[in-house]
Copies of this chain bind each other. A is one copy, B any other.
Amino acid sequence: MNRTRVLLTGFDPFHDDPVNAAWEVVQEVAASDLAGIDLHVQQIPTVFHTSLDVLAQAIRQVQPDVVLCLGQAGGRAAISIERIGVNLDDARIPDNAGQQPREVPIVAGGPAAYWSGLPVRDLVTRLREAGIPAEESWSAGHFVCNHVLYGLMHLLQAPEFQTQGVVGGFIHVPYLPEQAARHPNTPCLGRAEMVRALRLVLDALKR
């Protein structure tokens, strides 16, 4: 039986945070066993455009059935499955290369937005039924996370990926408890719950 090839990505830490919750979770899931899944992990720099170069390169190498990118959304209380990426970079803080684009399209002449390829509602339902706080999100923001979601879905428009039916999408995770401990009145989700959530999502995306 065929295993589903999954390319799973997370970002490096950014701004003043020593860790990135998404990357922490990605690593922990990668170290575990996932029935029916051939998992490939890639760290992506929190840098406009370079992030997409790294992602495109990984996709060429891995030839995945599913590309799932994870990012950290400090301040959110639940695993949030993004619905849509929009064609605009607008950074309130510099990225890890010091770039801070304001109101700049990601792809000149590209469409305003692309829908995520994930079964958003179904994933939210599965996670909630498993006792994990989850929500669907209608905006992935306008920093590098949205940049990667839009860029990924733009890339997957290529005929080769459309033919193969490659699925792409983006999920935001809250702070880990140790991050929230430094940001008063900010929600978090435990490492154990995040890992369980990501494993459930991957299982749901198996072909």
Contacts and interface: CB of A to CB of B under 8 A. Distances in A.
How many copies altogether? 4
B86 A188 contact: no
22 contacts: A77-B77, A77-B185, A77-B186, A78-B184, A83-B88, A84-B113, A113-B113, A127-B181, A128-B181, A129-B181, A131-B178, A131-B181, A132-B178, A132-B181, A133-B186, A133-B188, A138-B139, A138-B142, A187-B188, A189-B190, A190-B192, A192-B192
Interface string A2-18: 00000000000000000
Contacts of A131: 177-178, 181
Interface string A59-88: 000000000000000000110000110101
A78 B190 contact: no
Interface in A107-161: 111-115, 121, 127-135, 138-139, 141-142
A150 to B, nearest CB: 10
Contact of A187 (B127, B182, B187, B193): B187
A171 to B, nearest CB: 16
- By size class, the interface of chain A is 35 or more
